[in-house]
Amino acid sequence: MAGRKTGTTGAVCLLALLVQLGAPVSAAPGAVRELEPCAVPPRPAETSPVRQEVAVSRAGNIPGLGRVSASIGWDNRKQLTLAGDDFEMTRSFTPLTREVTLTIGGGLDEPLIVRLGGVEGLVVSRGDRTVRGAGDPDAVRSLLGGRAVAAFRERIGNYERQLMTGRRNARLDDPHAYGFLLAGALVASLAGDPTAVGRARDLIMQRIQGRLQAIRFSFRDCVTDYERYLLQIDTQRTYCLDAANSRDSWYVRAADRLGCEAEFIAQALAGEGQFISCTALGALT
């Protein structure tokens, strides 16, 4: 009986195979009363390892800003996140494309995404709305509402006022703090504050030029290289703004100035990416 049952199952499997191949098949009535499942060979187990996206990660607290988490990916992509009660702001730099991405979200708000420094230049998007370039400041401004964006701007504004008092000592994580300060200034500029980037720039330059940085020897070269880079791109910003201010149309001047500020921020955050590579996130404590 056992041999007969096996033979019947084999016939059923052969019949199923012929049906799949489209061959004409006929069976005698009552030849098969009950179909038994064909044996299916087990799939080989997947043994290929899954590569993690993050190579190095670290977190620390920056006084006046809050808890900051950072990571370096296997593709050398750098990412920093500042989280508050009502917002989460993430900024990333991809060395291969030189693109900087700022993302602000929280609660029920649709995330605001600002891309700059890449092939497309300035791109602001939210949900299904996207504005490319700085040629239409009103359209860009319309995307900058929401509780999360307002909470982030408030956090950066409070930090900016702390720097204005001049009582904050130099820290190893200043380049990261400056990165968030400049990112907040760009968001404020996109929202219609034409002096936001200039104020942030003045505060940073005063701290760089006004005194000798009190830092540990192991990170002196990293910080110094970063600060020299900021001085270099600040000169480029000045040239760009001079050209923008020479425009005849006020509307064109405003758009060109916004483009200059966006390019300056993109270069500054790219410089922070080099600082991260130099310190391997060791400045966050």
Q: How confident is the model at residue 112 (pLDDT cuts 50, 70, 90)?
A: very high
Report yes or no on 248 lying in a domain: yes
Lowest mean pLDDT among 40-44, 125-129, 133-137, 195-199: 40-44
Tokens linked to 234: 């600040």
Report yes or no on 22 lying in a domain: no
Tokens linked to 62: 């920056």
Say yes or no to pLDDT of 10 above 50: no
Report yes or no on 49 lying in a domain: no
Report yes or no on 156 lying in a domain: yes
Q: How confident is the model at residue 210 (pLDDT cuts 50, 70, 90)?
A: low
pLDDT in tens, 137-156: 899 999 999 999 999 999 99
CA dist 221 → 174, 226, 279 (Å): 14, 8, 10
pLDDT in tens, 12-69: 444 344 444 444 444 444 444 444 445 545 554 444 444 458 888 999 999 999 999 9
Q: Residue 174 is part of which domain span?
A: 56-279
Tell me how crowded residue 16 is: count the other CB atoms within 10 A of its CB: 14
Report yes or no on 42 lying in a domain: no
Report yes or no on 11 lying in a domain: no
Closest CA to 265 of 102, 66, 87: 102
Return d(Cα 96, Cα 75) in angstroms, integer.
9
Domain count, the chain: 1
Say yes or no to pLDDT of 129 above 80: yes
Report yes or no on 43 lying in a domain: no
The predicted pLDDT at position 150 comes to 95
Return d(Cα 114, Cα 47) in angstroms, integer.
39
Coil/strand/helix, residue 126: strand
Report yes or no on 34 lying in a domain: no
